[in-house]
Each structure stands twice: as structure tokens, then as C-alpha cells.
Amino acid sequence: MPEPTEDRSEFRNGPERCDAPEFRKDSIVDRWVIIARHRAERPHELVESTPQRPAGSICPFCEGHEQQTTQEILAIRAPGTQPNTPGWNVRVVPNKYPAVLSNAEEAVPPAAGFYQSQPGFGAHEVIIESPRHVISTTDESVETLTEVLWIYRQRLIELRRDSRLKYGLIFKNVGAAAGASIEHTHSQLVAMPLVPTSVAEELSAAEHFYRANGRCIYCQLLADELSFGQRIVFESPGFVAFCPYAPRFPFETWIVPRLHASHYETLAEGGAAELAMALRTVVAKIEVTLARPAYNYIIHTGSFDTFGVEHYHWHIEIIPRVTKTAGFEWGTGFFINPMPPEEAAGVLRACDTMS
Amino acid sequence: MPEPTEDRSEFRNGPERCDAPEFRKDSIVDRWVIIARHRAERPHELVESTPQRPAGSICPFCEGHEQQTTQEILAIRAPGTQPNTPGWNVRVVPNKYPAVLSNAEEAVPPAAGFYQSQPGFGAHEVIIESPRHVISTTDESVETLTEVLWIYRQRLIELRRDSRLKYGLIFKNVGAAAGASIEHTHSQLVAMPLVPTSVAEELSAAEHFYRANGRCIYCQLLADELSFGQRIVFESPGFVAFCPYAPRFPFETWIVPRLHASHYETLAEGGAAELAMALRTVVAKIEVTLARPAYNYIIHTGSFDTFGVEHYHWHIEIIPRVTKTAGFEWGTGFFINPMPPEEAAGVLRACDTMS
């Protein structure tokens, strides 16, 4: 066994440093972990047996409980109503238990070398999508969902002004199996000082394809899928929903704008209404087919330090969470999917959400 | 939107091709998916609400139900007893619902180009670790666990003789949240014609470190952790268990042999007994601390086409499954972990499994 010869004191990160969120990098593979100590108090509280707070007096996201959340950043509310009081339809607040903190920069001095660490700096916001205690995107009207999708755009435009932030990730968790810790319908935005690994891989692969082929890989995929037809789930004038060729999860469905656009921020007002209709329809088809499963959706968009690039194409990935990731997935990075996407798309395409 | 100009008929994979397992590669990022159609019959059966078959007459892994499994490959059994009858202590059978098939090579013709596909060729075996209906590694004696660990080695040695196979992954799923579909204690071995993505990344990173520093990165990590001390969970003459610096999951713990060895197959008979004691002790500490959570363990070992390499070091990663992966993890590839490893290791180190 080799003896360490140089000064290796940089790995001496002790628990006293962990009260603010800290990004740590695995020293072997390129994998970042956010240690966010304040999210758990004691070991047994980690066991998420009853993770979802029900309706009633204790839901902090219901109208009338505005004092239980942090101060609102933005809200769509009735004329004459005051911030942090009833009268709103959609409300944006900082996450009470953030994975990243806007003042974290001073809290944790960065470490370097073999044991890489940096402060968990960034913004973590919650978009509360209804004043009523409903659970899923399909419990919202198309009008409200349009407002939500428009707010995503507004927050991305606002956050990209901060030159320290490199990426804004928007996602939604519905159901305990999808990681939701509060039942009341909401989505989240995490803005980070680095482009996350999965996004960087996707951007880099798309750029590589563009250089080799002179066209956007997503435009190509879209043309292929429309021509093939068997994996199409839903079409509207501006959007196409399809099950991808190599889906990780059964009934995984992507919604892609027909016209090339690298950034979600380019969404137009009419586009938001049409996207709301498409998203609501696809989620409804999944919910009818799988009896309201847990699901996540994630907006894939370009990084804050670029805009209007030719090689990338924003889209939404919807992943129903009916299968569990097991040792095989964690050991390989491969996914086992029991449902061919051609068959899943056929079922979803035929599914009538009106009945 | 660009018009496809060349013949793109290769993407026309229809459902009629999916009865045998098929490896499909995402055309954008380097991510393989195994479409294993026969594992699900109808969409609603995908919802794993009651995934675990209980004890009693319907558990196919209990002694006396040998006819409910496929024919045994190997077993440790009492003298004079016949294969596929009672009298065994540990039993290896092909998985009844395999993710890969030894005869899949002929079943699915490989596709090439943009939409990459190849037959789901390989071996998928189940190691039934007890004739009794028990659930966890800690329900087995150290003697039985020693036999199990020795059988892992035997199967890897046997499977690596097939030059078409490049990697053998051994893992265990305990509990529904960890992806176990059968409750009765068992582990699995999947041998594949390619080195899986996560393993390839780890091997390549370790090789890169070796070239730059002239030593094994795991030997270095081990020396650092022993010197630092705060992340150590358990030590025995031949093995060290510690919580890694950047763990994905709360209480994630790795067991690493002190002496450099790239392949699990080099485990000696005495080493198997000592490893059994270490593995059982660490899992017991996790079970006492987290009230018997679901967990996975995965053996990380070198690929079949190498042996005795200087840059890699086999080890076992144990991941308790008390947190859920949510939209953030799927969107970033980052993990949020509420438990600093220094604190987790302190709790596990102090945990007395005898009481």
C-alpha cells in the first residue's frame, strides 16, 4: 500500500463545516453531491415513511397559511391584495429547506485538490401552483398551468442576470415515490453556479452532433419520430410529445417544441398556453393509464451563459415513477425498462382523457 | 427544421422486435437501456404497489419449492441430496425474468447508426442465500454468508471464461424501496457483453489517476481515511469500512480490502470469512441505526478482459435507500444528501449491534 508523502490535510473536512450546504465532488468519478445538513435533524427522521404533509391546517402551501412559508418573491394575485396574504393564484417563495443558499458563498470556504468542495451557493425557489390543496398538474386548469409555465420563464430570465449563476433547473415531483415531501402541487427551480453533470453531457453531445452533421440533433429526432409515427403520443401545432427510442422508465414521454429554440426563456405567451395544454394532456394520459402514478417532469434547457444556440433544443421530460431503481441501475448506469416505447406510445396515444 | 436527406430506416424498430431483451442506446447521451418486454404483462402491472411475494406456499425461493425456479446451476447441499430438491443451503439459478438472455444473440438482429440497438445477450443468475424465508444479509449466519461470498467468486471465475462476456455485476436488493421483487434473501449476477457505463467511468478515472500519480486511487483513499479517522465505520485485519467523502446516500458505506487487488475473484477462502463478518457487521449497524431500511449493495470489480491490474481496487458499496431520487437528481446527476458522512460514520462506528 503506498504511503502518502505530501501534505494531505485538505481532506480534513469535519462535521463542523456542514451546517450550510456544501458541494462535494467524488474524488474518483465526476459526481457532485450536495451535503445539505439542515434538511435532516436526526438519523431516524431520514426514513421517509410518511413524507407527505396532508391537507388541512398543517399544509404550508394552502391559501391562508402564507405565514408558514418564506416571504414571496413573486405572485399572481387579485388586484388590491397584499404580498404574503390570501388572494393569489400562483406563488413563488424561497425553499425553506434549500439545497443551495444565496448567502452560502461566505459560509463554507472552498477546499481544493483531491477532496474537492465548494459552497452550496445558488437559489432554490418553490412555485406553488394553486391556492387549493390539489396534488397534480392535471388538478390545475389550463389557464393556471399557463401562468405557472410563464412564471418559470420569468424566473429564469431574472436569475440568469446574476453572472455567478450558470444554470437554472426546473422540475416537479408529484407523489412520495417521486420524492415529493409536500403533497400540495408545486414545482421547484434550483439555480446553480455550475452546469450540472447530466446537462453538461447532453449539451456537449448535442454540440458534437451539430459539428458533425450541421443540424440540431433534436430537430433530427423530431423529424424521425414524426416520420416513424409509432412513438408519437400527442401533437399540437407547436409541440410534439413522444416516447423516446431508449427510455429509462416505462411511459417516459418527452414534449419537444417543433421550432428550433435552445432556451425555455424564448417561450412566447401563446406558446405557454399551448404548452400548458400539451403538458396537461400528456400527464392526464399517463395518469389514466397508470392510475395516477408518482411522476417527475424536468425542463431541459440551455445554460445561462449561452442564448440562441444552434445545437441545443429545449424540451420537457416526463418520467412516471412506477419502477424502482435497484442495484443493477446503480451498479451499471443502465436502466431496465419492461415497456417498449412503441407499445407505451400506442397506449398513451389511444388513451382518451375526456372519459 | 432540417429535412432528413439520407435513408433513416434504421430507426424503424417496432414492437414486434421486443420479445427478447434488447439493449438500446440513447442517441443523445451515452446511456444504455435494456428493454426487457417479458418482465411486464400489462401496463397496470407495472405499478409496484405490492412487489414482494411473502412467505408461505407461494415463495419460489423457499426450500421445498425448487420446482418453481429454473434448474439450479450450482448449490451447496447436504451429501446425497439431488439437484432441484430440498437439502441445500445456498442455491444458484438462472433468473426466471432475465434482463439478458444467453440465447438472445440470435433473437434480435443488431441495429446500427443513430438508433443503436443490440441483442440483450448475457447471463442473469440469482443466488438464493438461505433455504428459510429470511430477508436480509443479517438474517444469515456468518458461515452461510461466507458460502455466498465464495459462490460469487466461483460464478465470476466461471463466467469470465466466456470471451463474449466483458463484465459480471453482482448486487443485492433488500426491500421494496431498493427494487426487490421477491422478499426472500437473494443476490443477483448479471454478466454482460460490454462494460457498463458507470463501471467504465470508474475504471477509466482510476487508470487516469494511476498514470498521473503512479499509485492506486483506492489505496490512496484508504490511507487518507485511516489517517483522518472520522469517516471510518469498521476495521478488521483485511478490510476497512468507511463512509466516502462525497456519498450519494445517507449512511452510504464502502468496504475496501486493505491489500491492493483489482478483482473480486482474487478473494481467498479466509478472506471470504472475514469479508462475511465485515459485511454482516456493517449492514447490522445500518439496520440498527435506520430501523431495517431497504438497501442495495454492489460489488465493484475489474472487467473480465483484465486481471491483476495496478490501477483498480475491488470493493463493496452499500447504499441504504431511505431518501428518494427526485426531479433534481434526474435533472442534474447530482445527489442531495442530508447526512454528512463524518456524522453518519460517527453514528455507525458507535452503534453496538450486539444489544
Short-list B323, B291, B15, CA closest to A342: B15
Whether A201 sits inside 8 A of B347 (CB atoms) is no
User: Which cell numbers in the block locate residue B185?
Assistant: 434473501
pLDDT of residue A23: 85
Q: Torsions phi, psi of A21, nearest 5?
A: -60, 145
Asked whether residue B201 is assigned to any structural domain, the reply reads yes
Q: Rounded to an integer, what distance in angstroms lies between the CA atom of residue B158 and that of residue B141?
A: 26
Residues B32 and B167 in one domain: yes
Q: Quick one: what percent of chain B has pLDDT higher than 70?
A: 86
Q: Rounded to an integer, what distance in angstroms lies between the CA atom of residue B123 and that of residue B103?
A: 9
Alpha-helical runs (H) found in B26-68: none
Q: How buried is B219 (Cβ within 10 angstroms: 0-12 exposed, 13-18 middle, 19+ buried)? A: buried
Residues 6+ apart with CB under 8 A from A197: A30, A31, A32, B332, B333, B334
The alpha-carbon gap from B295 to the nearest alpha carbon of chain A, in Å, equals: 9
Q: Torsions phi, psi of B85, nearest 5?
A: -135, 170
pLDDT of residue B16: 42
Where among A144, A166, A192 does a domain terminate?
Answer: A192
Short-list A270, A242, A237, CA closest to A146: A270
User: Which cell numbers in the block locate residue A120?
Assistant: 452550496
Residues 6+ apart with CB under 8 A from B169: A328, A331, A332, B189, B190, B191, B192, B196, B199, B298, B299
In this model, does residue B10 exceed pLDDT 90?
no
> Which residues in A lie closer than 8 A to residue B258 (C-beta atoms)?
1
* Matching residue, cell 449561452: A306
Whether A28 sits inside 8 A of B260 (CB atoms) is no
Asked whether residue B136 is assigned to any structural domain, the reply reads yes
User: Which cell numbers in the block locate residue A248?
Assistant: 429509462
Residues B99 and B211 in one domain: no
Positive or negative, the Cα torsion across A247, A249, A250, A255?
Answer: negative
pLDDT of residue B353: 86
> Which residues in B lie closer than 8 A to residue A197 (C-beta atoms)?
332-334
Short-list B340, B49, B326, B47, CA closest to A171: B326
The average pLDDT across B99-111 equals: 63
Task: Locate the chain B residue with the closest alpha carbon to A199.
Answer: B332
Pick from A245, A248, A285, A290 the residue to mutate for testing the B interface (most B CBs within 10 Å).
A245
**B114 CB near a chain A CB, below 8 Å?**
yes
> Which residues in A lie closer than 8 A to residue B216 (C-beta atoms)?
2
H or E element at residue B233? strand B232-235
DSSP state of A121: B
In this model, does residue B112 exceed pLDDT 70?
no
In this model, does residue B104 exceed pLDDT 70?
no
Task: Locate the chain B residue with the closest alpha carbon to A250.
Answer: B46
Q: Torsions phi, psi of B272, nearest 5?
A: -65, -40
For residue B87, CA distances in Å to A5, A94, B28, B92 come to 55, 61, 51, 14
H or E element at residue A253? strand A253-257
pLDDT of residue B168: 98
* Matching residue, cell 418520467: A319
Task: Locate the chain B residue with the closest alpha carbon to A115.
Answer: B245
Q: Is A352 helix (H, G, I), strand (E, B) or coil?
A: coil
Read off the CATH number of the domain in which A203 is found. Answer: 3.30.428.10
**Measured over all CA atoms, what is the biggest interatomic distance in chain B, rounded to whole angstroms?**
71
Does residue A263 or residue B113 have the better pLDDT?
Answer: A263
Residues B201 and B99 in one domain: no
* Strands annotated E in A26-109: 32-35, 74-77, 88-94
Least confident of A45-54, A344-353, B192-201, B323-332: A45-54
Whether B248 sits inside 8 A of A32 (CB atoms) is no
The alpha-carbon gap from A96 to the nearest alpha carbon of chain B, in Å, equals: 14
Q: Rounded to an integer, what distance in angstroms lies between the CA atom of residue B114 and that of residue B10?
A: 8
DSSP state of B85: S
Q: pLDDT tens digit string along B260-301?
A: 999 999 999 899 999 999 999 999 999 999 999 999 999 999
pLDDT of residue B301: 98
Positive or negative, the Cα torsion across A62, A66, A71, A77?
Answer: positive
Asked whether residue B188 is assigned to any structural domain, the reply reads yes
The answer to whether residues B252 and B233 touch, using CB atoms and an 8 Å cutoff, is no
> Which residues in A lie closer than 8 A to residue B251 (C-beta atoms)?
43
pLDDT of residue A295: 97
Asked whether residue B4 is assigned to any structural domain, the reply reads no
H or E element at residue A280? helix A269-290
Q: Torsions phi, psi of B56, nearest 5?
A: 95, -160
Least confident of B42-46, B69-73, B292-296, B350-354: B42-46
Q: Is the ipTM of this complex over 0.95?
A: no
Pairing of strands A186-192, B117-119: unpaired
Asked whether residue A85 is assigned to any structural domain, the reply reads yes
Asked whether residue A264 is assigned to any structural domain, the reply reads yes
Residues A222 and A332 in one domain: yes
- Residues found in chain B: 355
Q: Torsions phi, psi of A235, nearest 5?
A: -135, 140
For residue A274, CA distances in Å to A103, A146, A301, B164 come to 37, 8, 18, 50
Q: Which residue from B33, B190, B258 is facing A246, i.e. has the nearest CB?
A: B33
Short-list B55, B192, B79, B201, CA closest to B132: B55
The average pLDDT across B36-48 equals: 57
The answer to whether residues A115 and A27 touch, using CB atoms and an 8 Å cutoff, is yes
* Matching residue, cell 387549493: A132
Residues B249 and B340 in one domain: yes
pLDDT of residue B111: 54
User: Which cell numbers in the block locate residue B313?
Assistant: 481496487
pLDDT of residue A25: 85
Whether B4 sits inside 8 A of A37 (CB atoms) is no
Whether A199 sits inside 8 A of B332 (CB atoms) is yes
Asked whether residue B276 is assigned to any structural domain, the reply reads yes
Where among B164, B192, B220 does a domain terminate?
Answer: B192
pLDDT of residue A56: 61
**Crossing angle of helices B197-213 and B217-228, rounded to 10°:** 80
Does residue A159 or residue B3 have the better pLDDT?
Answer: A159
**A182 CB near a chain B CB, below 8 Å?**
no
Q: Rounded to an integer, what distance in angstroms lies between the CA atom of residue A346 and that of residue A341?
A: 8
The alpha-carbon gap from B283 to the nearest alpha carbon of chain A, in Å, equals: 15
Q: Rounded to an integer, what distance in angstroms lies between the CA atom of residue A119 and that of residue A180?
A: 25
Short-list B186, B196, B193, B217, CA closest to B310: B217
Q: Torsions phi, psi of B269, nearest 5?
A: -60, -45
* Matching residue, cell 437528481: B329
Whether A340 sits inside 8 A of B37 (CB atoms) is yes
Q: Rounded to an integer, what distance in angstroms lies between the CA atom of residue A164 and that of residue A104?
A: 13
User: How is the beta sheet containing B295-300 ordered, strand by strand?
Assistant: B74-77, B88-94, B123-128, B186-192, B167-174, B295-300, B315-320, B253-257, B239-242, B232-235
**B35 CB near a chain A CB, below 8 Å?**
yes
Where among B192, B215, B237 does a domain terminate?
Answer: B192
Give residue B224's domain range. Answer: 197-350
Residues B204 and B330 in one domain: yes
B94 alpha carbon, distance to own chain's centre = 16
Short-list B280, B284, B344, CA closest to A44: B344
* Matching residue, cell 413563488: A92
The answer to whether residues A308 and B171 touch, using CB atoms and an 8 Å cutoff, is no
Q: What is the DSSP string of B132-199?
A: S---SGGGS-HHHHHHHHHHHHHHHHHHTTSTT--EEEEEEEESGGGT-SB-S-EEEEEEESS--HHH
Residues A295 and A156 in one domain: no
Pairing of strands B232-235, B253-257: unpaired
Residues A205 and A187 in one domain: no
Does residue B9 or residue A343 have the better pLDDT?
Answer: A343
Measured from the Cβ of residue A51, the count of other Cβ atoms closer than 10 Å reads 16
**Measured over all CA atoms, what is the biggest interatomic distance in chain A, rounded to whole angstroms?**
72
Residues A216 and A231 in one domain: yes
pLDDT of residue B3: 40
Asked whether residue B9 is assigned to any structural domain, the reply reads no
Residues A182 and A205 in one domain: no
User: Which cell numbers in the block locate residue B132?
Assistant: 428459510
The average pLDDT across B34-49 equals: 60
Residues B180 and B231 in one domain: no
Residues of chain A with pLDDT under 50: 1-18, 40, 48-51, 106-108
DSSP state of B302: -
Total domains in chain B come to 2
The answer to whether residues B232 and B240 touch, using CB atoms and an 8 Å cutoff, is yes
Task: Locate the chain B residue with the closest alpha carbon to A28.
Answer: B205
Residues B228 and B94 in one domain: no
